[in-house]
Amino acid sequence: MRCEDVQSIIDAFVDGEASHVTSLKIEGHLQHCARCSLVCRNRYVLRSVIQGHARHALAGDSDSLYHKAPVHLPKQIRSALQRSDRAELNRRAWTVRWVAGTAVALGAIAIWSISSVIYHRPAEDRLAQEVISSHVRSFIGSHLTDVLSPDEQDIKTWFNGRLDFAPYVEKLADKEFVLFGGRVDYLGARPVAVLVYKHREHFINLFTWPSGRDSVIADKTMTRQGYNLVYWAKSGMDCWAISDLEMGDLRGFARAFQERCSSPN
Amino acid sequence: MEEKVARFEQAVLPHLDAAYNLARWLTRNAQDAEDVVQEACLRAFKSFASFRGGDGRPWLIAIVRNTCYTWMQQHRSRELATPFDEEMHGVDSESWNPEAQLIRGADVKLLTKALEELPLEYREVLVLRELEGLSYKEIAEVADVPIGTVMSRLARARKRLQQSLTGTQRKEARLEL
């Protein structure tokens, strides 16, 4: 093995993450190479220094690299969870009462609410995961928008030539959701349009591309890794919206967007 | 009802230290870290149905990490605005002089400063590896990058840390002369 090869994976070796075969090769190289041995030794020393200073941590201990949660935090969180749980139960109880009281529409509503919450196919799960990854990545660096503008025509023009389809780009009637900008992203191995909206301090990423089908899919919702997602297919486009907004607000956004798409000016 | 909170507590609250530690290192502020952890726990609680059991620690850590970035986008967007260059330019080859002595001399204060100066992406993998002991595979899942990227970021993070530690200590030594 050459020195540069060894040094490029010395960290994996020191961390015990290199394969058995590779580790043996590295050990063989280290036996006769002082330079690489030095690099290796520095890694071990650095690691032991950091880990040495991370032990014996007490909450609030400024003498440790490891920061334990403050003593009051678990109780604080427990209360917050109980409050949230109670609020959710109340919301659900109210919804059930409302549904039960509407005799005529009962069948349609029941089917709609069940299908929108429970049934997720594996392909949808994969897509959901990609949507989440793209959403999180978009907040790092300056990746949120490639075109930063509240004007829908600006953004439509920007997409022109960058995509082989023309996405719906809409300023919403509801002034609470402000058009922020757009970008091109990759989802399901194809380029998609992303519209970015802002609601107070929360961002919504709306991914959209042409449907491979004629069908209309009513809003489906899911909550994953702390994010809320709503997706639908309508007017020839598949749309996925993701945000850390409350689900109710996000669904309001979805409705407002769909309304604009079906009444073009 | 009470049962869901109890189940959640059992599966997830034992990992609160790990959650707080990561949030503290990413936000570099104790109060902000508390806020982020609380918000992350609420989100985790709401997504608890999607938790497939097993080790709750990487699951909670991933949610905390994502909540951190979302939170920073809202409150500290300027910190995230600097684009992260995966290919670090001009990294010196390892110094031929024995640096081990200098590294060993680093205390918590020095290490904290050096760690906090690292770009977020480097700090993140270093904290997850050295302080949380996650495997490369677990780090890859939490940070949502390939394993190769985890390894190269760790390597560069450690080199930077080393340079920062030995650079500072040499400077201090020179001042004392």
Interface contact flag, A224 B81, Cβ < 8 Å? no
Torsion of CA A42, B166, B131, B28, to 10 degrees: -160
pTM (global) more than 0.90: no
Q: What is the pLDDT of residues B41-84, one digit of tens each?
A: 999 988 887 777 778 899 999 999 999 998 988 888 777 766 67
Contacts of A49 in chain B (CB under 8 A): 103-104, 106, 111
B21 to chain A: which residues are within 8 Å by CB? 66-69
- The reported pLDDT for the residue numbered A115 is 47
For B90-149, the pLDDT digits (tens) are 445 555 455 677 777 788 888 999 999 999 999 999 999 999 999 999 999 999 899 999
Reported as a single tens digit per residue, the pLDDT across A121-171 is 677 888 898 899 889 888 877 778 888 888 888 888 888 878 888 898 988
State percent of chain A over pLDDT 90.
31
Name the 3-class secondary structure at B70. Answer: helix
Rounded to 5 degrees, φ, ψ at A242 are -135, 140
State phi, psi for A191 to the nearest 5 degrees: -70, 140
Q: What is the pLDDT of residue B28?
A: 94
Contacts of A40 in chain B (CB under 8 A): none
Chain A, residues 12-41, CB within 8 A of chain B, namely 12, 15, 17, 35, 38-39, 41
Binary contact (A225, B66; C-beta < 8 A):
yes
What type of residue sits at position A119?
Y
Q: Which residue of B has its CA nearest to A227?
A: B43
Residue pairs spanning A and B at CB distance below 8 A? 170
Helices and strands (H, E) in chain B, number of each type? 10, 0
Conformational region of residue A226, where left means phi above 0, alpha means psi within -120 to 50, and beta covers everything else: left
For chain B, what percent of residues have pLDDT higher than 70?
Answer: 84
B123 by Cβ neighbours in 10 Å (0-12 / 13-18 / 19+) ranks as buried
Q: B174: distance to nearest CA of chain A, Å?
A: 22
Strand, coil or helix: what is B85? coil
The residues, ordered by sequence, that sit 6+ positions from A216 with a Cβ below 8 Å of its Cβ are: A233, A234
Contact A81 B30 (CB under 8 A): no
Q: Which residues pair with A200 in a beta bridge?
A: none
Tokens at A191, concatenated: 């380029």
Minimal C-alpha gap between B177 and chain A (Å): 26
Q: Give me the pLDDT at residue A187, please.
A: 86
Chain B residue with Cα closest to A42: B100
Q: Read off the tokens for A97.
A: 């009462």
What's the CA gap between A219 and A231, in Å, rounded?
A: 6
Partner-chain residue, chosen from A65, A73, A203, that has the shortest CB–CB distance to B108: A65
- Chain B residues in contact with A69 (beta carbon < 8 A): 16-17, 19-21, 37
Helix (H, G, I), strand (E, B) or coil at A187: strand
User: Which tokens belong to A161?
Assistant: 């030539």
Give CA–CA dist A230/A246, Å, rounded: 11
Please answer yes or no on whether B43 and A227 come within 8 Å at the CB atom.
Answer: yes
Reported as a single tens digit per residue, the pLDDT across A223-241 is: 888 899 999 988 788 999 9
Kindly identify which residue of chain B lies nearest to residue A34, measuring between CA atoms. Answer: B96
- Which residues from A are below 8 Å from B73, CB to CB? 139, 144, 203
Say whether the ipTM exceeds 0.90.
no
Q: For residue range B149-177, what is the model confidence (pLDDT) as tens digits? A: 999 999 999 988 988 888 766 666 666 54
Using an 8 Å Cβ cutoff, are B18 and B60 in contact? yes
Question: Cβ B84–A227 below 8 Å, yes or no?
Answer: no
